[in-house]
Chains A and B, each alone.
Chain A
Amino acid sequence: MTLSANNRYPVLMATLRRADPAPPESDRTPAPWEANVQATCECLSWRGTLDNLERRQAEDALGETTYADFPVHTRAAVVTAHSLLARGEISEHELETKMNEVRARFRQA
């Protein structure tokens, strides 16, 4: 695990550095990926990997500290990833590799 001194996963912080500036929370329409994140969270809870309540508590805790730089609507995705990393369900290498693969796939379109 390569957590930095402030407990941030570099692979997730890179997401923020690459992201475009977001409009204010009050002036935006949810993107399709946000509904996908919610369904992923429900499936993870439903199948017993990451309980919804624990995930929401982590969102509140990490969203106001470690990932406070992230827009509110992105925190479910970031904290779900953080929780899966912290529990060892996925590794940073796996996530980084998969993100590179997905990014390349999407850019082909």
Chain B
Amino acid sequence: MSPTHDHDHAPIEAANEISEFDVLETAIRELAIEKGLFSPEDHRRFMEWAERIGPHGGSRLIARAWLDPEFKQRLLADGTETSKEIGIDWLDPTGTGTPSDFTYFYVLENTPDVHNVIVCTLCSCYPRPVLGQAPEWYKTPHYRRRVVRWPREVLAEFGLHLPLDVEVRVHDSNQKSRFMVMPMRPEGTEGWTEDQLAAIVTRDTMIGVALPRADWTAARSPAATPR
């Protein structure tokens, strides 16, 4: 162990981490680059962008909409254009060009009578510029296939039990259209700042499988909660 690397973790065994799919992935990428299908810079920039993004943009949009009725109307009318007000350009999310699958962004408002939830039945289309990478469960066939058929049952599996008089609308994303849910502002948040509100608008509340609560933020550890 070198003098400058003296912490006590186990040595990393690089050889054990290499799988045949590592080999296949690298081979495909390098061949594509060699043939000019895209550049190393294209790939690097996409990786850098994809690893940086999270649900913060979506949380900011919702918090601002809760505080500013005019912003809310603009967001509901044209999500793509209004996202630019917080620095998110859907037509140029990586800053390097226009990925073919980002075009229209729609924000769906929950009301006392209507609850929205999003899915991509075809694959895993997701509003990445505002919510980051899709959670693994969002990509699974059992979520994709079941939420459109039995939305109340699937939401109940997430712990969200909606009254029967609340209509559940499931929105199926596709290559050109992405959706995000605008949950209702919870009671107990009167007088809160935009930052305070953004902290309680978690990823799942914008997918539609959870509701925001005044006593819960995405930054809190569930394990720190008393039983």
Chain B CB within 8 A of A65 CB: no
Chain B CB within 8 A of A39 CB: yes
| Residues from 41 to 99 in B contacting A, C-beta threshold 8 Å | 42-43, 46-47, 50-51, 97-99
Q: A102 near B20 (CB under 8 angstroms)?
A: no
Q: A51 near B100 (CB under 8 angstroms)?
A: yes
Chain B contacts for A74, CB-based, 8 A: 21
Distance from B52 Cβ to chain A, minimum over Cβ atoms (Å): 12
Complex formed: what's the CA distance from A44 to B51 in Å? 19
| Residues from 12 to 64 in A contacting B, C-beta threshold 8 Å | 12, 15-16, 18-20, 25, 30-31, 33-40, 42-49, 51-53, 56-57, 59-60
Chain B CB within 8 A of A99 CB: yes
Complex formed: what's the CA distance from A109 to B136 in Å? 31
Q: B47 near A19 (CB under 8 angstroms)?
A: no
Distance from B45 Cβ to chain A, minimum over Cβ atoms (Å): 9
Given the known inter-chain contacts A43-B43, A98-B27, A98-B31, please indicate yes or no for A15 contacting B101, CB distance below 8 A.
no
Complex formed: what's the CA distance from A34 to B136 in Å? 12
List B residues at the A interface (Cβ < 8 Å). Answer: 14-15, 18-32, 35, 37-38, 42-43, 46-47, 50-51, 97-101, 122-124, 136, 140, 174-175
List A residues at the B interface (Cβ < 8 Å). Answer: 12, 15-16, 18-20, 25, 30-31, 33-40, 42-49, 51-53, 56-57, 59-60, 74, 77-78, 80-81, 84, 89-90, 94-95, 98-99, 101-103, 106-107, 109
